[in-house]
């Protein structure tokens, strides 16, 4: 289902008529399209048909509370901001909201001006992140993020399609798949690529970086990386020749293969790598590869 209006869509999940009336009035006057659910179960039914731009979630409701609803929504809509509405005395609810996928919270009684300001910021940030991930798809880079337990946090649209082709449902990733990723992340062996057997054939993943302690970026290998040493030179403190060497390192080539491509001896390639490592503040090939891939993908390095 789609909405005719181009206005941002806000899903308000609350069982209080007074609260719904006030919020609906403020959002309507600000130009938002408002959808209403009286409990978490209704909200999930709505999001099966419509993808809102932001969700306002009450914590305590009948049938299904906001916490359980948020946890389920987060698996379906990893980018959609979920703002919890909590009472002034509900400090425990605030912590629980973040643990269950909440993006932010606002205390009741709701201040309409503060609510609108928070919505604007979250919608804008979500749009920027979505655009960045779409850009990765444009250059056919299959990137995903998982938490420390290997559970999927988000993935680019192309990655969703690739996982589905491998027999993996992105919205219901199996415990076995997540457990394998989690064990790999915990093992300290992320300098080596991980190969996982799937129904659709082997899936090779490469660790890119940790955004923070519970969000780790991974790249599914197999798609083409950009072949642009000038991009590496512009984004990293390396010379033109070092950028050329690093480009082929990122593509998994050995020193001998790089030497043949660039008309250099393997020893000279190794000398270049000895200069590259300290410039990138790393001490091994795997770390240099990860930084090069991040630079080629346009990710922060």
Query: Does residue 3 sit within a domain?
Result: no
Query: Does residue 4 sit within a domain?
Result: no
Give pLDDT, residue 191.
78
Domain range for 265 is 229-297
Question: Can you say whether the dihedral through the CA atoms of 167, 172, 176, 179 is positive or negative?
Answer: positive
> What is this structure's pTM?
0.52
Q: Which has the closest alpha carbon to 15: 51, 64, 54, 48? A: 64
Tokens at 117, concatenated: 């300001």
Query: Does residue 1 sit within a domain?
Result: no
Number of structural domains the chain divides into: 3
Q: Which of 162, 187, 220 is the last residue of a domain?
A: 220
CA dihedral 117, 123, 126, 132 (to 10 degrees): -110
Greatest Cα pair distance in the chain = 76
The CA-atom distances, in angstroms, between 250 and each of 38, 132, 189 are 51, 21, 18
Query: Does residue 281 sit within a domain?
Result: yes
- 87 within 8 A of 110, measured Cβ to Cβ: no
Of 252 and 31, which is predicted with more confidence? 31
Same domain, yes or no: 191 and 91: no
Query: Does residue 110 sit within a domain?
Result: yes
- 232 within 8 A of 296, measured Cβ to Cβ: yes
Query: Does residue 97 sit within a domain?
Result: yes
Same domain, yes or no: 38 and 107: yes
Same domain, yes or no: 182 and 110: no
**What is the rounded distance in angstroms from the CA atom of residue 264 to the CA atom of residue 247?**
15
Give pLDDT, residue 112.
93
Give pLDDT, residue 155.
81
Same domain, yes or no: 197 and 238: no
Same domain, yes or no: 248 and 216: no
Same domain, yes or no: 214 and 242: no
Same domain, yes or no: 84 and 64: yes
Of 211 and 179, which is predicted with more confidence? 179
Most confident range (mean pLDDT) of 127-131, 175-179, 233-237, 252-256 is 233-237
Of 47 and 215, which is predicted with more confidence? 47
Contacts (Cβ under 8 Å, ≥6 apart) of 194:
180, 181, 184, 204, 205, 206, 207
Burial 61-86 (b: 16+ CB within 10 A, else e): beebbbbebbebbbeebbbbbbbbbb
- For residue 232, name the pLDDT band (cuts at 50, 70, 90): very high
- 235 within 8 A of 225, measured Cβ to Cβ: no
**Mean pLDDT, the chain, whole residue set:** 84
Same domain, yes or no: 49 and 112: yes
Same domain, yes or no: 91 and 182: no
Q: What is the mean pLDDT of residues 130-142?
A: 61
**What is the rounded distance in angstroms from the CA atom of residue 191 to the CA atom of residue 198?**
22
Q: Is the pLDDT of residue 226 over 90?
A: no
Give pLDDT, residue 137.
55
Query: Does residue 2 sit within a domain?
Result: no
Give pLDDT, residue 96.
85
- 78 within 8 A of 143, measured Cβ to Cβ: no
Same domain, yes or no: 266 and 172: no
Q: Which of 220, 237, 268 is the last residue of a domain?
A: 220
**What is the rounded distance in angstroms from the CA atom of residue 157 to the CA atom of residue 73?**
17
Q: Which of 132, 149, 182 is the last residue of a domain?
A: 132
Q: What is the mean pLDDT of residues 226-237?
A: 85
Q: ∠ at Cα 75 (15, 27), nearest 5°?
A: 40
Q: What is the mean pLDDT of residues 166-192?
A: 81
| CATH assignment of the domain containing 63 | 3.40.50.2300
Query: Does residue 46 sit within a domain?
Result: yes
Q: What is the mean pLDDT of residues 60-67?
A: 88
| CATH assignment of the domain containing 201 | 3.30.450.20
Same domain, yes or no: 236 and 267: yes
Q: What is the mean pLDDT of residues 181-205?
A: 83
Q: What is the mean pLDDT of residues 15-22?
A: 89
SS3 at position 274: helix
Q: What is the mean pLDDT of residues 279-296?
A: 86
Same domain, yes or no: 149 and 215: yes
**What is the rounded distance in angstroms from the CA atom of residue 237 to the CA atom of residue 148?**
31
């Amino acid at each position: 289902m789609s909405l005719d209006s181009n206005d941002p869509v806000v899903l308000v999940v609350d069982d209080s008529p007074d609260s719904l009336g006030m919020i609906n009035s403020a959002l309507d006057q600000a130009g938002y399209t408002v959808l209403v659910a009286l409990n978490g179960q209704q909200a999930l039914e709505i999001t099966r048909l419509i993808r809102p731009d932001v969700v306002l979630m009450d914590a305590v409701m009948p049938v299904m509370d906001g916490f359980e609803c948020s946890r389920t929504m987060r698996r379906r809509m990893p980018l959609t901001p979920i703002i919890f509405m909590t009472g002034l005395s509900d400090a425990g609810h605030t912590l629980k909201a973040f643990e269950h996928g909440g993006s932010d919270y606002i205390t009741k009684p709701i201040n309409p001006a503060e609510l609108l300001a928070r919505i604007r910021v979250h919608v804008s940030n979500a749009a920027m992140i979505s655009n960045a991930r779409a850009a990765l798809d444009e250059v056919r880079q299959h990137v995903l993020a998982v938490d420390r337990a290997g559970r999927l946090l988000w993935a680019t649209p192309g990655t969703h399609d690739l996982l589905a082709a491998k027999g993996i449902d992105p919205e219901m990733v199996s415990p076995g798949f997540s457990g394998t990723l989690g064990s790999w992340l915990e093992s300290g062996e992320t300098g080596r690529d991980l190969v996982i057997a799937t129904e659709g054939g082997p899936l090779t993943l490469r660790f890119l970086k940790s955004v923070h302690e519970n969000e780790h970026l991974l790249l599914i290998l197999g798609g083409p990386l950009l072949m642009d040493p000038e991009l590496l030179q512009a984004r990293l403190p390396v010379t033109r020749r070092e950028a050329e060497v690093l480009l082929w390192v990122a593509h998994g080539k050995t020193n001998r293969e790089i030497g043949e491509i660039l008309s250099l001896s393997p020893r000279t390639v190794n000398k270049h790598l000895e200069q590259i490592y300290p410039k990138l503040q790393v001490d091994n090939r795997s770390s240099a590869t990860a930084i090069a891939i991040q630079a080629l993908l346009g990710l922060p390095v």
